[in-house]
Each structure stands twice: as structure tokens, then as C-alpha cells.
Structure 1
């Protein structure tokens, strides 16, 4: 499933059947689901999540982000993304169940999830690290893909190492603590992709009192 990794510098990026090893680990996990369950989740979440298209200001101009998003978190937790304070939605039952399963699989205590809908291949997200202060110093993030296969690219912040993997329907990858410190990542445009993809990134968010 993860045998299609492309890496410029194999000293820093390599893949095997069970793991992808780069500085600040990025690794796959398998959930105990069949394809029918992933199909159900894709259909259910696409319809039930209150998607919205956010915007941001850069150089005194407002831009609309090329994707849809929704933010779910425990009571009292806030999250700022691209200088926007996300509106917190109450947990959907499907997301709560997924959170518990992923918490067990990763031995983490995630308390929030950013849901992203890429409606087609023109929807994308540019180079970034998930290093907002609400996530703490070295966050672990679990990323579940549903729907269309999309390319996930990563590049090292201090050298020319870069690589990519194709994320398929039902793939779960875990960005380990040092990943956000050493690496940036993106989901680039792929105009030939016509089907939607939902990405669920489970995170642990800290309240302002713990910054």
C-alpha cells in the first residue's frame, strides 16, 4: 500500500511494506476496517459535516482557500489556522468513534480533528507545517484519507530532501513528534482527479492556560 514512495535522497527518505522512515517519523498504520466501512464513512461524512470555505488575508488582500473545512474539538478548545479562529463544531458520532479507535491504535489522546474536503483535483493545500502553538512543541498528528487517491508531498526544511507518497482510500499515516519541526508537506493540485477526498487529521490541542 505504501510502496509508491518517491524520495530524492534515500538516506533520509525510504519506504518498506510496513513503514516509511524519514527524519521525524512519518509512518503508516492500518485500522481494522474493510472497504465497505471506508465507503460508508466517506458518504456519511461528506453529507453530515457542515463544510465551509474559509479565507485569509495576505498583503491586504483576502484569499479564499481552495478546499472546504470543518473543525471538531472537545469543549473549550480553540484552534487558529492561517490566522483564522476556527469555529468549533460538536463531535459527530462517527468522528467520536473514529477518534477512540485511532487513539487506541496510536496510544495518543487526540481531542480534536480538522476535517478537510478536497472536492476535486483542483482543491489543494500548499507547503506548510502544522506547528501552531495550540498543538504544543512536538505534536503527533494522525491523518486518515477517504475517497480519491491524492499525492502527499514532503520536503526537509534544512536540505534538498523531498519525497511523496500516494494516499489511498482508507490509508492512515501518523506524523510523529519531530515531523513538523523538520518537514513541510502539501497536497498539490491534480486536475485529472475528479472524485472528492476527505482528510481527517486528528490532533491534541492545548488550552491557552497550558501554553
Structure 2
């Protein structure tokens, strides 16, 4: 049975994240972390060079069910599911936001994957952010803008005594940090929600190991 988590209760002291821990899982969560989240959503809709990438599965090519953009420092190449992301330069505003996220997470990030979910039909399937380019010893910080969407996690290797899948809502301005070794032991997804009409933009700040070559 899926565990539905209410991360808004109890409210921690200002600036202190709530935490969720399970075997192999470590999360830190700041509700309503970004005060001007609505303004950021409007800005990023138009300022980001969004791309509609395609993926080939079993000989058939499909559009990825969301728009994406990859920003990073020079040399921060990244690929997943056979899609090699073109590196876009940081905008001045996202450079500033990066510093704010770094201060909260306690980590220096060199790259950013942005996902634009245009409505509830767009989704993100079960996966882990464990590509060879990503530093497994560093956290991944996820910032949500726009419509609240379900965020689910489940163990990579479920068993009779394994932890049940977790599910909670990430709303506008919420900041979630997935600390190591979460990506090695758990999968996560953003499922379809056909009744959701508003769009959502998610920013995941990451650390790329420069020079790492994905073996694909």
C-alpha cells in the first residue's frame, strides 16, 4: 500500500527543512521555500529555450511527454534515455536562483535540468537520476513552480519486507533535496493527472562530473 505523506505538518522552525528517511532514502523538504514562485513561473515560460525531445523505444520514436532544457557550466554534458542534452548558458536570473538553492542545500551545483509539464497529461516515468555523468555523492535539489503534482518514490528492489512506496504533493515554491544514497536505492516519478489543467515547471539542480562519459 502506498504511503501518502503530509509534509506540511508539523511546521519546522523557519529555514529548517522537514526530513523523510527510510532505508537508502534521505529527503529534505522546505514548503513554500520560494516566495515569488508565481513570478518565476511566468518568467521561465518565455525566457527558457524549451525543447521537445524524442526518444526511441523498441524501434519506435515518441515525443517525451514534457518540454525540457539543460543549463550548465562549460563541459557539463548530460544524456539520459539516449537523449543528449544541448548545454544552454545560465541566464542571469537563474544564476542568482542557483546561489539561493546552493545555500539551502549546502552544495555547489554546476547544472540544471528544467522540465515543463504543460498540463496533467505530461508526466515523468519511474527512474533514478543515476547516469554516469552525475556525481553520486552529491544531492539533487528539486524546485517546483506552478500546479501541484504528485511525486512518488519506491524502492528499486521491492520485497516482502521492503518499504512501501511513498507519495506526496509538491506545490508551488516547494524545495525538495534528495540526498545520497537515494538515487542508488529508490526510483521516483511524476504520474499523469488528467484533471490538472495548469502547467508546472520543475527545476532540478545537479552536480556533473566533468569528463565523465556515459556508456550507452
Q: Who is 1:3 aligned against?
A: none
Q: Who is 1:204 aligned against?
A: 207
2:3 equivalent among 4, 7, 22: 7
Tell me the distance in 1 between the aligned counterparts of 2:33 and 2:54.
36
Instruction: Choose between structure 1 and 2: higher helix proportion.
Output: 1
1:143-192 per-residue CA deviation (whole Å, 9 max, x = no partner) reads: 00000000001111122520101000000000011111111000000000
RMSD value over aligned CA atoms?
A: 2.0
Q: Who is 1:25 aligned against?
A: 26
Tell me the distance in 1 between the aligned counterparts of 2:49 and 2:67.
9
Q: Who is 2:191 aligned against?
A: 188
> Do 1:119 and 1:197's aligned partners in 2 also have CA atoms closer than 8 Å?
yes
> Do 1:67 and 1:117's aligned partners in 2 also have CA atoms closer than 8 Å?
yes
TM-score with structure 2 length normalisation? 0.86
Alpha-carbon shift at residue 26 of structure 1 (Å): 1.5
Q: Are 1:179 and 2:182 matched, yes or no?
A: yes
**Number of positions where the alignment pairs a residue of Structure 1 with one of Structure 2:** 200
**CA 1:153–1:30 in structure 2 vs 1: closer, same or farther (change >3 Å)?**
closer
Tell me the distance in 1 between the aligned counterparts of 2:6 and 2:38.
30
1:126-146 per-residue CA deviation (whole Å, 9 max, x = no partner) reads: 000000000023441000000
